[in-house]
Amino acid sequence: DGGITQSPKYLFRKEGQNVTLSCEQNLNHDAMYWYRQDPGQGLRLIYYSQIVNDFQKGDIAEGYSVSREKKESFPLTVTSAQKNPTAFYLCASSRLGQGQPQHFGDGTRLSIL
Amino acid sequence: RKEVEQDPGPFNVPEGATVAFNCTYSNSASQSFFWYRQDCRKEPKLLMSVYSSGNEDGRFTAQLNRASQYISLLIRDSKLSDSATYLCVVNRVTGGGNKLTFGTGTQLKVEL
């Protein structure tokens, strides 16, 4: 089945640690995205990528980093510089072009120990 | 002002009722529009795209008014399984590609 796989489902981080969230898709989509969702707030864009080896900052990129070495994969690293990392992280992908909807993985919940 | 605004609800309706959600957007450069559904602690799932002429998918009807920058979703004959949060989503094309902006969602609770 085609889809987007995020792992792990739940992740706990100690203060000062970097953690990496995995996102893999087999939909052959060119574009991939990372969002975070906090209670009572809409999804906010962290980073996005339209092509391998290229990515752009979204609205809240500070404290995060990404890479896009393969079309299928877009891992997100939450660094120790992100002061409030507890959130629900969602990865999405889409075809390029106007009007293309995004399809989401089932998310990773990150909490601070 | 938020780029996409929705009434947060909750809307508590009896099974079988018709319910309408509204959404306004502030950026007139917005080019495409969607409704997503999100269940509690789950990922958003695409419900339907919204076209200028209006479009229907079973019990769901979406309308777009570009002049008023307003989008609506109508659910007829609501079912218990329709209980969820409905997200209004607006897309515009930037130099970096498609940029989706999500509303905070309207919560629907369908009751017996």
Q: What's the pLDDT tens digit per position in B36-47?
A: 999 999 999 999
Read off the pLDDT band of A8 (50, 70, 90): very high
Read off the pLDDT band of A81 (50, 70, 90): confident
Q: Which of B68, B44, B47, B66 is closest to B58 using CA atoms?
A: B47
pLDDT, residue B31, reads 87
pLDDT (tens digit per residue) in A40-63: 788 999 999 999 999 999 999 999
Contact B32 A98 (CB under 8 A): yes
Over residues B48-52, mean pLDDT: 93
Contact B49 A42 (CB under 8 A): no
- Contacts with A88 from chain B: Cβ below 8 Å: 41
Judge whether A34 and A107 are in contact, CB under 8 Å: no
pLDDT, residue A1, reads 60
pLDDT, residue B48, reads 96
Chain A closest CA to B39's CA: distance in Å?
11
Kind and range of the H or E run holding B45: strand B44-50
pLDDT at A110 over 80: yes
Out of A42, A90, A97, the one facing B104 most closely (by C-beta) is A42
Chain A closest CA to B98's CA: distance in Å?
7
Contact B32 A99 (CB under 8 A): yes
Q: Is the minimum CB–CB distance between A56 and chain B shorter than 8 Å?
A: yes
Chain B closest CA to A81's CA: distance in Å?
25
pLDDT, residue A112, reads 86
pLDDT, residue A41, reads 83
pLDDT (tens digit per residue) in B61-104: 999 999 999 999 999 999 999 999 999 999 988 776 778 899 99
DSSP symbols for A36-69: EE-TTS--EEEEEEEETTEEEE-TT-TTEEE--S
pLDDT, residue A53, reads 95
Q: Is the minimum CB–CB distance between B102 and chain A shorter than 8 Å?
A: yes
Mean pLDDT value across chain B: 93
Contact B43 A106 (CB under 8 A): yes
Q: Which of A22, A99, A16 is closest to A63 using CA atoms?
A: A16
pLDDT, residue B63, reads 96
Distance, CA of B102 to CA of B25 (rounded, Å): 10
Mean pLDDT value across chain A: 93
- Contacts with B44 from chain A: Cβ below 8 Å: 43, 90, 104
